[in-house]
Structure 1
Amino acid sequence: MDIKTASALHRLRLVSGPEAVSFILLLICSVLKRTTDFNAVPVMGAIHGLLFVLYALFWLDAWNKAKWPLKTAALYFVLSVLPFGGFVADRRLKREADDMVAASRADRKGVVDAA
């Protein structure tokens, strides 16, 4: 795996967790707004909106760099709109990055052994 692909996957992982947390907090704030006088929806909405836009931008970059098939790219996008999907995306991205690194090391080892 080249450094640009690794960086793109890492950036997407970095934002997927906070995006998931902000989504859950926004849902909680929505319930509290309707059941109490507490209204943090405008603040949480702005925070979640910013994190979602970052996720979408990093998702596009990762899709471009990792050359995902449409099914994989769609899965990562759908995970961004599910309440706990960001956590699932983070785990899958970590596993994918680890697999890519292992394959890259095996390829390099094969090249070194053949020389």
Structure 2
Amino acid sequence: MTQPNLPLLKWAALFEGSSLLALIFIAMPLKYMAAISTVVKIIGPIHGFLFLSFVAIILFYLLTRKLPATTTLIGLVSAFIPFGSFVFKAKYLQ
């Protein structure tokens, strides 16, 4: 399924997924294995901002009619599934 070129949404999906990777595989191990909780306090809010930005950009493209309702729904569901933004980007935004 090919969608129109939506570079902002592609970047948002990439950054949101990457921030989750950093949170799970860098920040959380440092917090629980090395007792360094500062990294989670930094990466956690960054991931939260990127997550909300990803959702907002999906809704923006729906409202500007650049993204069909079904793709919007799939994108919103993928936002709540760990690493779903990578799958959404690869399958629906290429």
**Fold shared, TM-score > 0.5 on shorter chain:** yes
The residue that corresponds to 2:66 in the other structure is 66
Deviation of 1:38 after TM superposition, in Å, equals 2.1
Distance 1:72 1:93 in 2: 7
- Gaps in structure 2 of 5+ consecutive residues: none
RMSD between aligned alpha carbons? Answer: 2.1
- RCO greater where, 1 or 2, for CA within 8 Å and sep 6 or more? 2
Matched letter for residue 66 of structure 2: A
* Match 1:26 to one of 23, 27, 33: 23
TM-score (norm 2): 0.77
- The structural deviation recorded for 1:55 is 0.6
TM-score (norm 1): 0.65
- Using the TM superposition, give the Cα deviation of residue 77 of structure 1 relative to its aligned residue in structure 2, in angstroms: 1.1
Greater helix content? 1
Identity rate, percent: 25
State how 1:1-115 maps to structure 2 within 5 Å.
6=4, 9-28=6-25, 29-39=27-37, 40-64=39-63, 65-69=65-69, 71-95=70-94
